[in-house]
Structure 1
């Protein structure tokens, strides 16, 4: 009897303490001691068939700002643009540190861009943005790289054509095209016949790891993941290390050539990111500063840039073409606009055409809204007590703009499940609320590269080819709605018919 009484008292104390802590945060489902809302999140993910629909359900019940407790840690989700802008842009310095998934932190050692915080992250971000500007990102030099790569891939398509028609596995096509662009920017080499098989093998390994990556993996300690799911742990580690080693191989080789005098760095006009970084290493060494710019750090920086720049852009393009072949009327309107802008296709679409390609811009915004790569966005630390949309948010929590739920918010995007580019023509300001690259201090460093790739590749492919389904119409549904990232139907083959 005494034991039961003690246990009851203990549980009552835990429940009261949990209630008192929950009062210091925005509303959310009633949480339990120790496990928080994990049981409810699992249930509503199952009931609504995915993570994003579950978040959207919580948004409808509790408002655009709500709290979920994943174990003992409160997670505050923001699902509207205005509040996200207020928190992460106007007050961005308060939320610079990312709540790092233990498995990411284990691999990176707080180096790089994605899985790092503090001085190292801030310095690498500043350097990367400056290096990209020097290399012409957002200007003609970047456009030339993208169009040259697209021309090379289209030449391969045309060489395989039968009666002007080629069957294309779009996932492989965009993986190679986007991967080659980012590889040339980072290390000065594109993918061709001699190395593309190695790349596709590594990409397959990465995709396999991504397909199993869930909220469980975002939060569980590494030791527990290794003990409970050794196969899962091994695959994730192998995928990340293989990709990092692959993209850093050229950097290491060039570094050795610089040391031996075989290679001279051009600091004024670097040919790629690695050269810009090695030039910075020399400058820092001359000043006697060697703690930030190291080869180990470079390995993780270019690994992060490659992983983020290749995967998200290629996935968006695959998702986009799955949508386009399901909506031929959208393709027709895009092509009419493209033909008008390019004098009936007598020249390629260029970045300077953006100001006049209103319908294509709207179509790309709708593609990005639907593709919305992250089902669960990366969290930021909240180091001090604050207020978000009138709600108290105590220190010690984590907070994020939940992009997946924001992009399906019916209060912002009417009939959000519909693919309807015209919504951005009817309300041009609506495009500002599509934020696939994140918001604030931790937004994507390679956003300008990705925007240029998506615009030029979609526009010029529609200008060159009539694209139709090969067999059944591709699905536009997320194939892995319970994982941390979205996955479009990557089995699709489309028919590219030269115009």
Structure 2
């Protein structure tokens, strides 16, 4: 009995020592990170960071701890960057160290690290470099990307003219036309707006965007090690993504059966040619899984972000008719009433360019953003971020910093104009991210936004159904219970 008692005491002492060691290690690791609220075991900082109002929670923590702080999203630490100086210091000053993609199980469960957006290491570098080259019109047939956008803008104008100035909701038309641009680039052709398969694709992209931005998915990402074993809404995004990927697989099969090696017409053709060229390389990244994942990345991102920006732009221009009038005046002077707008016009239209940038600056696409991670132990602002630490940039907060924008919460195109009225770049404008993980579709998106805005405003005046002062602007896109782009407008021919 004495031996049993001694063994029990020994076990208790060993267990206590182990717990103390774990606690000391955890305290030491936490002390090396930027300051932040004290986390609770397992829950982390869920009491301080609301999953239904994350942006406001981060604003309060920024006021208390400064622009760089640590929160525990569940049991894991996340270093949050809330102003441009911190983003610049991390993503540009130490670009390689911060170039990893942080885990997002809601997306990575489907991609499994393939493609570009959720990939890391050499795979990410190789596929990103290739994708950028193709999107810069490298080897994509006779039609340039600009011509594809102009063609689709023409279809949109034709459709909108048929409304004869009656009140309409623009959401469907804009999402359709923007999606058709990326369809033309990826698949080589556009869809009719009434095509049932196309309508389902639009519905899928919208639902996926909503689901991955929902509180349920954010919570599931925090506790994925446990939540993956339970049914619930947090798994819905996976099935939606898989349905969209099934469509992509079907399009790739069609292209594989008929593509012309000497005359590539779209992104898939370019990838298949590269895949064929590297058939003898056992380590090639140009394989079927990466192709499907890249097409998903480009199709998904290329549909929602641009279309939402256009919808918000129409809403903001209705609320600010004086801004709309100035854009009309500049269009009349530079483009006229009949010539098709061209990207070359942008340098001659500083005010319109400033308006588009200001629209982008104001929109909050996501409270959380897409996480990075450090790929090696990294010293940052006197702290130690160990390899694998997740880093979350809140770009929309950088856009609301009075150090960089005079009226941060106001629609004020002059933020991007100099004293002479010329367009003025602002390095704190980070709508497409910053550093090595910046959005690879930035040039395409900016081209689309300019050509669509100028085409719409060349043809129409935007008339609201209520006085401009009564138009409500909700800038946080997917805040629960809000649908800020549901509005009506009268498109009056000019």
The aligned residue for residue 198 of structure 1 is 200
- Pick one of 449, 472, 485 that aligns with 1:454: 449
Q: Secondary structure at the match of 2:491?
A: strand
Instruction: Judging by fraction of residues, say which structure has more helix.
Output: 1
**TM-score (ref. length: structure 1):** 0.86
The aligned residue for residue 477 of structure 1 is 474
**2:438 maps to 1:443:** yes
CA distance in 1, matches of 2:435, 2:317: 31
The aligned residue for residue 303 of structure 2 is 310
CA distance in 2, matches of 1:15, 1:430: 49
Whether contact under 8 Å (1:95, 1:381) holds in the other structure is yes
Whether contact under 8 Å (1:56, 1:408) holds in the other structure is no
The aligned residue for residue 174 of structure 1 is 174
Deviation at 1:222, TM superposition (A): 6.0
Unaligned runs of 5+ in 2: 1-8
Q: Secondary structure at the match of 2:261?
A: coil
Q: Count residues with an aligned counterpart.
A: 475
The aligned residue for residue 30 of structure 1 is 38
Q: Secondary structure at the match of 1:41?
A: coil
**2:120 maps to 1:117:** yes
Per mean C-alpha deviation after superposition, the further-off stretch among 470-479 and 289-298 is: 470-479
CA distance in 2, matches of 1:377, 1:208: 13
The aligned residue for residue 5 of structure 2 is none
Q: Secondary structure at the match of 1:282?
A: helix
- Pick one of 327, 333, 341 that aligns with 2:320: 327
CA distance in 1, matches of 2:249, 2:26: 47
- Pick one of 459, 463, 466 that aligns with 1:464: 459
CA distance in 2, matches of 1:59, 1:402: 11
Deviation at 1:212, TM superposition (A): 2.6
- Pick one of 356, 381, 387 that aligns with 1:389: 381
Deviation at 1:20, TM superposition (A): 3.2
Deviation at 1:305, TM superposition (A): 0.8
User: Residues 157-168 of structure 1 correspond to what in structure 2 (within 5 A)?
Assistant: 157-161=160-164, 165-168=165-168
Whether contact under 8 Å (1:36, 1:68) holds in the other structure is yes
Deviation at 1:404, TM superposition (A): 2.2
Q: Secondary structure at the match of 1:57?
A: helix
CA distance in 2, matches of 1:35, 1:233: 18
CA distance in 2, matches of 1:291, 1:185: 24
**2:331 maps to 1:338:** yes
Whether contact under 8 Å (1:379, 1:399) holds in the other structure is yes
User: Residues 21-60 of structure 1 correspond to what in structure 2 (within 5 A)?
Assistant: 21-42=29-50, 50-60=53-63
CA distance in 2, matches of 1:379, 1:87: 13
Cα deviation digits, residues 299-331 of structure 1 (max 9, x gap): 111011100111111111112222111111111
Q: Secondary structure at the match of 2:409?
A: coil
CA distance in 1, matches of 2:283, 2:374: 31
Deviation at 1:435, TM superposition (A): 0.9
Whether contact under 8 Å (1:378, 1:400) holds in the other structure is yes
The aligned residue for residue 148 of structure 2 is 145
Deviation at 1:145, TM superposition (A): 0.9
Q: Secondary structure at the match of 1:39?
A: coil
Unaligned runs of 5+ in 1: none
Whether contact under 8 Å (2:213, 2:478) holds in the other structure is no
The aligned residue for residue 249 of structure 1 is 250
Cα deviation digits, residues 143-162 of structure 1 (max 9, x gap): 2111110111111121342x
CA distance in 2, matches of 1:371, 1:180: 23
After superposition, the Cα gap between the structure-2 partners of 1:231 and 1:74, relative to the gap in structure 1 and judged at 3 Å, is closer
Q: Secondary structure at the match of 2:80?
A: strand
CA distance in 1, matches of 2:41, 2:264: 55
The aligned residue for residue 94 of structure 1 is 97
Per mean C-alpha deviation after superposition, the further-off stretch among 466-475 and 448-457 is: 466-475
